[in-house]
Structures are given as structure tokens and as C-alpha cells.
Amino acid sequence: MRPAGGGFSLMELVVVLAVLAFAAAVIAPSVGRTAGSVRTRAEVGAVAAFLRSTREAAATRRQALEVIVDRDAHALVVRRAGRDGAAAALRRRAVSPRLRIEAGPPPPRVTFFPSGASSGARFAIVARGADSYVIAVDALTGRVSMRRAGS
């Protein structure tokens, strides 16, 4: 029994602090990985949203638009289908240097038609960590979907 008004002993405080330090050491690395994973998912989601907005723009403008992956500039470029050159670019969106975008089959581009259909594409997006995602553009409907690779 503790006497009235008594506190904790130094040994009890040291044990509690040791347990808290151990718990923090175990949890901290996983929190860091989770934050990086969330950031990667947000960046991949932004790429998918850019593709969706280009599909909508093609239908609204009633002209075919293509999105090209510019690996050198780490960007997605929208231009009228069939037009070449930097002057033909209508919009650009920078892509995080943490991401690497590969298209299958090459070249890394997709065309959206005014009808809502597309040329179809499959983009594999790999982050510096172990995260990788697939963005698929359906050829018939032009629908853009995103999923984690391997799921």
C-alpha cells in the first residue's frame, strides 16, 4: 500500500519510459512507410484525374486529344491528335520525379476521341519505394481506372 499523497518511484517511471520508447521505435518506421505510400497514391490519383479531364475535354471540344508521357520533362502533355511539336501542346502536367511511367504497349500515349472512346492504354507507374500502380484506359469506353499492381 502506498501512503496517502505518495507518488511513483523512480524505477516505475523508468520502466514506463522504456516501454514507451520501445513502442515508438517499433511504430515509427511503419508510419514513415505509410506516409510515403499515401503520397504515392495521391500522385498516381492525380495522373488518373488528368487523364479523365482530358477525356472530358475531348468530348466537350469535339476533337481528338492525345496525352503523351514526356519522360525527359517528367510531364504529361495534351495536344490535338496528329499534331507534333511543342507548339501543339494544349496543356502540361508535371509528374513527380518519384514516379516512373511505363506504357504498354509503347509508345507512351493515349488518344481520347470526341465520342468518349479512346485508343486504349495501360500505364504502369512505379514509385521509388515498392509501390506500383496500373492506370488502364479502356478503348471502347475511354474509362480511366486505377489499381495497385498485383491486386
Q: Does 4 fall in a domain?
A: no
Strand 121-127, strand 75-80: pairing: unpaired
Q: Give the helix/strand (H/E) hosting 19.
A: helix 10-61
- 63-108 pLDDT, tens digit per residue, is 999 999 888 888 899 998 876 655 578 889 998 888 888 876 667 8
Q: Does 2 fall in a domain?
A: no
Q: Does 97 fall in a domain?
A: yes
CATH code at 41?
A: 3.55.40.10
pLDDT band of residue 25 (cuts 50, 70, 90) is confident
Domain total of the chain: 1
Q: Does 20 fall in a domain?
A: yes
What range does the domain containing 102 cover? 10-148
Q: What angle do CA 64, 69, 72 make, to 5 degrees?
A: 140
> In percent, how much of the chain has pLDDT > 70?
84
Q: Does 125 fall in a domain?
A: yes
